[in-house]
Amino acid sequence: MFTLHGTGTYIVGRGKVAIIDPGPDLPEHIDSLLEAVRGETVTDIVITHTHIDHSPATPSVKAATGATTWGFGPHGTPSGTYQVEEGADRDFVPDYAIGDGDVVSGDGWSLEAIHTPGHTSNHLCLALREENIMFSGDHVMGWSTSVISPPDGDMGDYLQSLRKLMVREEIRYWPTHGPAIENPRPFVGAFIDHREKREVQILTCLDEGLVAIPSMVERLYTKVDPRLYRAAGRSVLAHLIHMVNTGRAKCEGKPEIDTLYHPIQR
């Protein structure tokens, strides 16, 4: 429901190649990937972030190819914190950690890591310098805005990371879910605008006395399948945490899914 048509796995280069996001630990996915790289030498596996549809196939693909694994680091939130978070791969640990501006390179290709926290704290986008394109992971998807689910997902970081991409010059994004994104700067700008408008709507809810997240979800997501209300609630929570941190809302206790929220009197 959250991946559109599944997880896209990318193969970069010819001869000696890199794999970006080997995907879920599903035999059919892994077998298809290994068949796709038959005759190639897989030297590197690069992970955009540690969710169960992106990184769990790494051990199997590494065992089959002997490739070196790269990523920002393990998942950022300890297990047991905030029952609201789902879908984390807590087992992945890269052979080598890469951060903002680091480059993984091979025969005819080089991938620049761009740290883009928000969807997860360890999310990376990867710029293929030779073609002036970017693999945008789940930070910028081709079919929907990204799910921001606290505690590892952070709305303030997400917005800052979107703005970070606005000053870059890549001509095309290849997301892990959805189609390629041509002329990505206006596309990213629309995501920023969408999130800013959502926070204005949440402030209106607070001003009208809707102080619990479920009531806000019912008001704000009238055209959404009720099966998605849980995910919508996580998104509203992420916005409210950001609004509390920036002094535009307050809450009774810790900002969590069951907390009551109120506007700051201006």
The predicted-structure confidence for 253-262, as pLDDT tens digits, reads as follows 999 999 999 9
Q: Report yes or no: 95 and 69 within 8 Å, Cβ to Cβ.
A: yes
Q: How far is CA 257 from CA 106, 146, 260, in A?
A: 45, 19, 9
- Return d(Cα 32, Cα 208) in angstroms, integer: 53
Mean pLDDT is lowest, of 56-65, 84-93, 143-152, for 84-93
The domain locations on the chain are: 10-182, 195-263
Kindly report, residue by residue over 125-160, the tens digit of the pLDDT.
999 999 999 999 999 998 778 889 999 999 999 999
Give the residue from 177, 186, 106, 111 showing the smallest Cα distance to 138: 177
Alpha-carbon distances, residue 159 vs 51, 78, 116, 196 (angstroms): 20, 24, 10, 9
Quote the pLDDT of residue 75: 77
* Among the ranges given (64-78, 101-115, 171-185, 232-246), the one the predictor scored with the smallest mean pLDDT: 64-78
| Within this chain, domains 10-182 and 195-263 share the same CATH topology | no
pLDDT of residue 2: 37
Cα–Cα separations (whole angstroms), residue 238 to 85, 104, 155, 216, 242: 11, 32, 5, 13, 6
Q: Is residue 107 classed as helix, strand or coil in its secondary structure? A: coil
Number of H helices, E strands in the chain: 6, 13
From residue 110, alpha-carbon distances to 13, 25, 34, 53, 221 in Å are 9, 27, 22, 24, 42
Q: Quick one: 10-182 is in which CATH superfamily?
A: Ribonuclease Z/Hydroxyacylglutathione hydrolase-like (3.60.15.10)
What is d(CA 67, CA 57) in angstroms, rounded to the nearest whole number?
13
Rg (CA), the chain: 19
Mean pLDDT of 170-180: 95
Nearest to 123 by CA among 146, 95, 91: 146
CATH value of 195-263 in 1.10.3720.10, 1.10.150.20, 1.10.260.40, 1.10.10.10: 1.10.10.10
